[in-house]
Structure 1
Amino acid sequence: MNISQINASKYCHWGRFFLIFILTASLASCSASKKAHKKNVNKVIQTAKTYRGTPYRYGGTSRAGMDCSALLYLSFESVGIQLPRTSEAQSKVGKNVPKGKLVEGDVVFFATGKRKNKVTHAGIVTEIGRNGIQFIHSSSSLGVTEDNLYNTYWHPRFVRARRYF
């Protein structure tokens, strides 16, 4: 073995060490990132749930009364995500998500008016389980409450879903 082969062998050894170090660091970073993501999702949902029972008020943004877009606006603001103020505008930002790929923290949008594709309502997915997909929203009749996406009222009015994380 000559000198250049010995030096190459040393560099190859350090190269492997460096590669293992980078991979380990990136996996640890990925794990920390997933934990931070889960923490943010939980904070958004928990913030939304603190508004349960708040009466509906069109254009309202406080515990005295709020509409559906204010619930989203305030809940996501708790983790530093700034959303537009209306549900229609909120439905145009973030990543599009198919209904079958929804996860907790995603936002669902509905057309509750005469036009079938015009977004007029929104809610935050709070739970996915055997009994369907639960979401929290500010209902004009019940105030801030949770419902099942697959119930007979909401399912046919579903328009799209978005992910902000």
Structure 2
Amino acid sequence: MKFSTFCILFLGIIVLSSCHSTKRVTYKSSQANNRVTKVDNSKNSSLKKEVSTVLKEAKKFLGTPYKYGGTTKTGLDCSGLVFNSFDAIGVKMPRISREQANLGKEIRLREVKEGDLVFFNTSGSSISHVGIVETVKNGEIFFIHSSTSKGVIISSLEETYWNKRFVKATRIL
């Protein structure tokens, strides 16, 4: 066999052995994927359950009249609503909205999700009101809170009164 024939054969073998299908084949360990999926899903599931519990507790107070310093179904204020709602999942919150505003991570308004807190300045130069984000629909933020005039209700952040008084949002969960 001549050297040139040998080289051609050798190159042919290399080319043929290096060819591959255009179809991507991925090999996965189902055990490893299940483990990762379970961790991610249980974390998300647990968080969703906590948020759901907080909102369910807050909604139990819908229609409850406003009472300064109140924390019961006979009457409560905005921070009392937050205090009771988070207590349902074992999260101990301060009793004053201005102190509640110091907890958690401050987030941008466009990042707000259900269960986050929104803070307002309704009476002076500091935070004096708080609500719990109930839902976000098409970018519109609805929050549950205890209004001095209407008791516990759900309002929109697009309402002029609340929009002008918004200070910040935080995430506890």
Question: How high is the TM-score relative to the length of structure 2?
Answer: 0.80
Aligned counterparts of 1:27 and 1:84: Cα–Cα separation in 2: 36
Aligned counterparts of 2:101 and 2:58: Cα–Cα separation in 1: 18
**Are residues 1:153 and 2:143 paired?**
no
1:48 is aligned to 58
2:78 is aligned to 68
**Are residues 1:129 and 2:126 paired?**
no
* 1:48 counterpart SS class: helix
**Are residues 1:93 and 2:103 paired?**
yes
Q: CA RMSD in A?
A: 1.7
Q: Which amino acid aligns with 1:57?
A: K
Larger Rg: 2
Q: Say which of 77, 94, 107 aligns to 1:84.
A: 94
Aligned counterparts of 2:139 and 2:110: Cα–Cα separation in 1: 14
Runs of 4+ in structure 1 displaced over 4 angstroms?
19-23
Unaligned runs of 5+ in 1: 1-16
Q: Give the percent of matched residue pairs that are identical in Structure 1 and Structure 2.
A: 39
Q: Count the aligned residue pairs.
A: 147
* 1:119 counterpart SS class: coil
1:111 is aligned to 121
| CA deviation string 1:114-145 (max 9, x = no partner) | 22xx1000000001003711000000000000
CA contact (8 A) 2:93 2:100 kept: yes
Question: How high is the TM-score relative to the length of structure 1?
Answer: 0.84
Q: Which amino acid aligns with 2:150?
A: L
Aligned counterparts of 2:139 and 2:149: Cα–Cα separation in 1: 23
CA contact (8 A) 2:116 2:171 kept: yes
1:30 is aligned to 40
| CA deviation string 1:82-131 (max 9, x = no partner) | 1111000000000111111000000000000122xx10000000010037
Q: Which amino acid aligns with 1:62?
A: T
Aligned counterparts of 1:131 and 1:34: Cα–Cα separation in 2: 22
CA contact (8 A) 2:108 2:169 kept: yes
Unaligned runs of 5+ in 2: 1-27
1:8 is aligned to none
Aligned counterparts of 1:71 and 1:53: Cα–Cα separation in 2: 12
